[in-house]
Structure 1
């Protein structure tokens, strides 16, 4: 309540003082439009011990600290200081700590000796420490709140039995589905048995486990998808089988049909679509926007026939701006100049390492076409080179 109002009610101001006080109060309000009660509340929170600690010791912004103080509260620094000391001893920098506390402020309330230290020791026993461990913890600190005896250790042992690396194991354990699903190991074991039965190497299976969304699929559906991939002609002994299975598992039937129709509109036959999928399973996971952009460029602007592109699906899977567009532009100019054969396969030059491409297709022809490097860098188009419309 405003002090002027209280004094006036108690008759402590002479009348002429009241006028001055009222005017002063009005002027102050106009200069400070935030209501008094809100400013008082904010000031109170900003100076509470919890907020002050979060700002000064953990690096949170005042706004974030105020928000976090609604979830946690402590009146002395003993416990949070111990938590921060353990994190620092494990390799966390101030930046890591800020990220961890911002995402999981309740970590400052756990028992440092009973809850946090055993988990940090556990991760250390896995060979994770220093910057690697700090990066993982700051990315997903919720792993520090999982039960060591009931979740982390048994699930970790299960993952290690599948030849999963320690780093991948930690990344997997961060996922809530791995911790919250009690029968997940049974589902995964069943799905692994399906793959082992047809000869998929354990090293390939471990990759699928690391990409846990695929291997966690309901067993009956997973078996159905494995059968589908085999019928498409993929060899279970080859790594392409794993990529194809992942693509099929992560694509619904309706989405699959939409992708098929999209490629048909670009003139691809059923066999060409399937052949492209066998070559690059990723092509059935790309967005229609990405595919349309690349095929419009290759077919309508560069002049490659749809069937030619279908035989080199790598062209729609690579980064368009950084690799496909600049390399195809250079090759098109060289072809129009008659310096290379016109039917050069897309995969021939798109697969080359950067240095090899520059040596073979740019530097080699700099004398004949001085602006070729500018074409590669997107600084010069076909119009400037006298080839008509770009």
Structure 2
């Protein structure tokens, strides 16, 4: 069947998959799927307290990681001292890996630092070099897909390495053909090859190759799942395609139908559910408890059934996201119940925002910028904007202009005018209109860039 799928993909219809709108019930193709769970890498988990600071500090001082990245990695891996990781770094450098390569490897595969350099890692590097891998080839391939170093068997390691090498080389030459005799290889390689032939890029393809989940394992389940995802019009070059493939592969027909029935009982149709699936495939993982909890949360916020279902259809990603009492959070900040209802009607996604985030952004708008609470009601999208990249930088420019008297008022401009517009329009409104004053423009640009950098 896989060859038929690939052959059909090259036909006129599948070449235009992005325009497909088949009126198809995805359940009719379902076979007996079984849930596949990702195997946990035990080496990345450690309950000892006090280790995160040690790991984080080591990554900052030894590899030049940012504190934020180092802290993120330290949650996935731990070690008592720097002896073992230092041996790993020394080994990698002896094989020609530069710090940029090592940073990429550790970011994608922190568990490498816990491997025994002499008994576990070096034999694999020696094996790959013995097969003729040059230093430049070895560093490039392992920097892109470091998790192939988890593979224990030489034959499998060799097969995966060659596959990655062929794809990288063919991409460089704009040649999408892979010359390996893949039809005789394991199903996983064969399935990855099928995704490759559909145009899936490296950044999506390689994680699937080394994933311990079952999405690209087997034969029948993969082929049926791939067929359904293509027929629903998902773009193979996007992460949403991978999410949809994973969802349909891992859930049985019975489980899928049970999920659909939950939404039907709330008032949605089967067609509505699959349209939601196209927008946000992972919403299918929500339990009935989480689905009904979100429905009840919207109801407490003042939305009627029709408005709640409309929010579900437009923003399926908000389903199951609420873990706190959203109404109490907004009421505690001074909003009335009617204003809370307006906010949630205009921005259903705020059901997924943490109480801390809502409080921090609302207090900044009111206390730092002197905008009224009504400004948040009128433009609730401010709660979804990045403080570091948009809100704070732009507000600092506004405050500088107000201090110098260039806005002609002691009041800041409308929050939508300052924060909702594009970067280009903001510059035109508040910076470039002062082009005749080069010193002022330089100061404003410095404030804008300085804020973003911080």
Tell me whether 278-287 or 341-350 shows the greater mean CA deviation: 341-350
> What RMSD, in angstroms, separates the aligned Cα atoms of the two structures?
4.5
Larger Rg: 1
User: Which structure is richer in relative contact order (CA contacts within 8 A, separation 6 or more)?
Assistant: 2
Unaligned runs of 5+ in 2: 1-82, 85-115, 172-181
Give 1:374's aligned residue: 443
The correspondence for 2:158, drawn from 81, 88, 110, is 81
The CA deviation string for residues 131-175 of structure 1, in whole angstroms up to 9 with x for no partner, is x0x211323332677434332122233334444333433233346
TM-score, structure 1 length as denominator? 0.62
Tell me how far apart the structure 2 counterparts of residues 196 and 325 of structure 1 sit (CA, whole Å).
40
Following TM superposition, by how much is the alpha carbon of 1:318 offset from its aligned partner in structure 2, in angstroms? Answer: 0.6
Matched, 1:149 2:224: no
**Partner residue, 1:187:** 258
Out of 261, 285, 291, the residue aligned to residue 216 of structure 1 is: 285
User: Which ranges in structure 1 are unaligned for 5 or more consecutive residues?
Assistant: 1-32, 35-41, 95-109, 382-390
Mapping of 1:141-180 within 5 angstroms? Answer: 141=209, 142=211, 146-166=216-236, 167=238, 168-174=240-246, 178-179=249-250
Match of 2:375 among 293, 296, 308: 308
| Structure-2 change in CA distance of 1:116 and 1:338 (3 Å) | closer
Distance 1:360 1:348 in 2: 9
Give 2:208's match in structure 1, choosing from 132, 140, 154.
140
Deviation string, structure 1 residues 94-118 (Cα, Å, up to 9, x no partner): 9xxxxxxxxxxxxxxx996243442
- CA 1:340 to 1:224, structure 2 compared with 1: closer, same or farther past 3 Å? same
The answer to whether residue 391 in structure 2 is matched with residue 317 in structure 1 is: no
The whole-number CA distance in structure 1 between the counterparts of 2:449 and 2:288 is 54
In 2, the alpha carbon distance for the partners of 1:128 and 1:301 equals 49
Aligned runs of 1:222-233 on 2, under 5 Å?
222=291, 225=294, 232-233=303-304
Q: Choose from 126, 130, 133 the match for 1:52.
A: 126
Describe the shift of the 1:227–1:205 C-alpha distance in structure 2 as closer, same or farther (beyond 3 A).
farther
Does structure 1 retain, via aligned residues, the 8 Å contact 2:379–2:415? yes
Q: Distance in 1 between matches of 2:377 and 2:308?
A: 25
Distance change (3 Å), C-alpha of 1:160 and 1:184: farther
Q: Which residue of 2 aligns with 1:247?
A: 318
Do the aligned partners of residues 376 and 293 (structure 1) sit closer, same or farther apart at CA in structure 2, a change above 3 Å counting?
farther
1:72 paired residue number: 152
1:251-290 pair list within 5 angstroms:
251-252=322-323, 255=324, 257=325, 259-290=326-357
Question: Aligned residue for 1:298?
Answer: 365
Alpha-carbon distance, 1:377 to partner = 4.1
